[in-house]
Amino acid sequence: MSALPKCPQCNSEFTYEDGEMYVCPECGKEWSRQAAESTDEKRVVKDSNGNVLQDGDTVTVIKDLKIKGSSSVVKVGTKVKNIRLVEGDHDIDCKIDGIGAMSLKSEFVKKI
């Protein structure tokens, strides 16, 4: 049995083939075999305005973000220095002064 690729959106291992397409039953994403074969391209992460982010960039938070499991909040305008891009749903790892290490979604930040 050949190994099918993981879902590029949710990273699920339960993908299946449907004709010339791959389908993820967990998130519903469909993609072609050609797209699966061209995954050796580097992933591009963009901020809320469409600017390309890179490791080491400085960004600001554009929305109040509640911290799961805590009563703390990351306020609008919080400056986050020296970000690191990672794979996954929360694609930014960083340290925020007064809070500590966190993971953020790129859709909630703006590049400075």
Q: Mean pLDDT in each 10-residue stretch from start to end of the chain (112 residues)? A: 76 87 89 66 84 95 93 94 92 93 95 94
Task: Give the DSSP per-residue string, the chain.
Answer: -PPPPPPTTT--S--EEETTEEE-TTT--EEEHHHHHTTTSPP--B-TTSPBP-TT--EEE-S-EEPTTSS-EEPTT-EE-S-EE-SSSS-EEEEETTTEEEEE-GGGEEE-
Q: Are 32 and 23 in contact (CB under 8 A)?
A: no
What is the pairing mode between strands 65-66 and 59-61? unpaired
pLDDT at 39: 52
27 Cβ contact partners less than 8 Å away, ≥ 6 residues apart: 7, 9, 10, 12
Cα 50 to the center of its chain, rounded Å: 14
pLDDT at 64: 96
pLDDT at 32: 83
